Amino acid sequence: MLSARNLFFVGLAVFLAGQATASPMPMPLRDAVARRAVQQRAPLDVNDFKAEVPSKAPDGVIVAYSNTATKRAPLDVNDFKAEVPSKAPDGVIVAYSNTATKRAPLDVNDFKAEVPSKAPDGVIVAYSNTQTKRTPLDVNDFKAEVPSKAPDGVIVAYSNTATKRAPLDVNDFKAEVPSKAPDGVIVAYSNTQTKRAPLDVNNFKAEVPSKAPDGVIVAYTNAQTKRAPLDVNDFKAEVPSKAPDGVIVAYSNTATKRAPLDVNNFKAEIPSKAPSGVIVAY
């Protein structure tokens, strides 16, 4: 048996449900639902064809691509294999035919690479030496080490009968033997007339100085041209020297010696200065 409290809640629920069904839909909500129904895209606007299926939308509706009107004629499509040549002389693709445009067989060079050929009249034929063959005398078949000549257009062995140089024109002296040809004849070099005088030849040793003041090579003598002893610096390398009056002497610091304060004798690691011309520690 229901209590008074439960009956109260049941009555309240029935009352509220009735109010909800009796009240009209609010205006903004009703307008939004109407617009959504109008603005929803038609199913034909959505391209749901597979990627491999071509499609088109000529009038705004997406449909499968149809080749009924725009399809190319079959003769416009080249469906020959890659290795089959084709042509389209009148706009129609057909297999390449050599009936009319094929070159004559004589225009095709089918000789092997090692077989010479020619086409004197436009026809390729094997090279024939019947008329154009060179005469045997025009061919140089001498070995490389055999000299040849062709004075009259005929290649023959080189003959020295008429054109051979005279023996005296040939230098057959060894490389280490000097030779000359004063009158056009090659002979051994003779020093009889053209030999230089002995005094013209410098036969002094390399370490012996020599001179030739009058054209004669002689040992270098210091008799007249020898410098005075004071002109020769014979001090050791580590001994300073000077020549104030042209005479080389040891360097003396008696008169020209600098004052001790002008000499910087501080060690390298000690800084120094000279503000008044005297060198002092920094």
Q: pLDDT over 90 for what percent of the chain? A: 1
Q: Are 99 and 91 in contact (CB under 8 A)?
A: no
Which amino acid is it at 93? I
**pLDDT of residue 23 exceeding 60:** no
Average of per-residue pLDDT across 86-110: 77
Q: What is the pLDDT of residues 227-280, one digit of tens each?
A: 677 778 888 888 888 888 888 888 876 665 667 777 888 888 999 888 888 888
pLDDT at 100: 62
Distances (CA, A) of 173 to 169, 179, 182, 210: 12, 7, 16, 35
Q: pLDDT over 70 for what percent of the chain? A: 73
The residue to which tokens 């089918």 are assigned: 110
Q: Which residues contact 20 (CB under 8 A, 6 or more apart)?
A: none
Q: Which residues contact 138 (CB under 8 A, 6 or more apart)?
A: 153, 154, 155
**pLDDT of residue 81 exceeding 70:** yes
pLDDT at 271: 92
Average of per-residue pLDDT across 108-136: 78
Q: What is the pLDDT of residues 136-183, one digit of tens each?
A: 777 888 888 888 888 887 888 886 666 566 676 788 888 888 888 878
Average of per-residue pLDDT across 221-231: 66
